[in-house]
Amino acid sequence: MDLSKYINKYKGKRGFVIGGGYSIKEYQEKRFDFSLLNDEITVGANKAYKVCKVKFLIFLDFKFYQQYKEEINKLDCIKLAPSWAERLQDFKGREDTFIFKNCTANYLPTTFNCIRTANNSGVVALRIAYLLGLNPIYLVGIDLVKEHFGTDKMHFHDDYPESWVKSIKKKICDFFITEFVRTIEALKEKGIQVYSCYERSGLNEYIPYINLFDLFKEKK
């Protein structure tokens, strides 16, 4: 699959990066209509497809794919997976899946072929949003609240095995925040604005916060 045609395809259009954070559940409890995102340009990470019809989906973990491959393979979207996918028969000849390599250097990629992952699908989704040319970019379900790590408040859903959740240590939160912040700083240098859509996000000291309800007032 060739994604080169998607570089800057949506230049100057707003887009949404959707993670799996607990804040999504809080929005659901406040009755935010996530189907409003179906008509937006969305880059989702992991279980983001439970929230809306994502246009692009990124997943990094082999165990994640093995656990949920039946539902992932049925999704009508462009999927991006790292190089371990090359070894699986599942992806042979698939026209909806792009396989990329993990780069360790640049915070902003120049091509879909090589993207710095930092073992975080959310930050990869942000980097993909950059390649697509999106501006501004809104982060939904990207919480990075250290107290949530390793607890049932880490995700908006309860699909993951408890052992997966408990294995995620709080100390890794700081590393993830660093990856996001350095990416955001690089985006700002290029005139691309990133917003947080969670009032308690660990990124709010670096980027402006905006409530999702405010973004869709005109569509109510």
Helix (H, G, I), strand (E, B) or coil at 78: strand
Identify the pLDDT of residue 218.
66
Written as six digits, the tokens of 102 are: 């993990």
Identify the pLDDT of residue 219.
57
Identify the pLDDT of residue 91.
87
Written as six digits, the tokens of 167 are: 């294995």
Closest C-alpha among 82, 3, 18 to residue 49? 18
Q: How far does CA 168 lie from the centroid of its chain?
A: 18
Residue 145 CA: distances (Å) to CA of 23, 41, 141: 10, 26, 11
Contact status, residue 43 vs residue 68, Cβ threshold 8 Å: no
Rg of the chain over Cα atoms, rounded to whole angstroms, equals: 16
The pLDDT > 90 percentage for the chain reads: 90
DSSP designation for 61:
-
- Please tell me the distance from the alpha carbon of residue 109 to that of residue 122, in angstroms, as a whole number: 15
Contact status, residue 68 vs residue 59, Cβ threshold 8 Å: no
Mean pLDDT score across all residues of the chain: 95
pLDDT per residue as tens digits for the range 129-178: 999 999 999 999 999 999 999 999 999 999 999 999 999 989 899 999 99
pLDDT per residue as tens digits for the range 194-210: 999 999 999 999 999 99
Contact status, residue 143 vs residue 21, Cβ threshold 8 Å: yes
Q: Residue 217: pLDDT band by 50, 70, 90 thresholds? A: confident
Helices (H), the chain: 23-29, 62-74, 121-131, 162-166, 172-189, 212-215
pLDDT per residue as tens digits for the range 36-72: 999 999 999 999 999 999 999 999 999 999 999 999 9
Q: Residue 94: pLDDT band by 50, 70, 90 thresholds? A: confident
For residue 220, pLDDT beyond 70: no
Identify the pLDDT of residue 93.
82
Identify the pLDDT of residue 104.
85
Residue 20 — φ and ψ, nearest 5°?
-115, 15
Identify the pLDDT of residue 92.
87
Contact status, residue 86 vs residue 101, Cβ threshold 8 Å: no
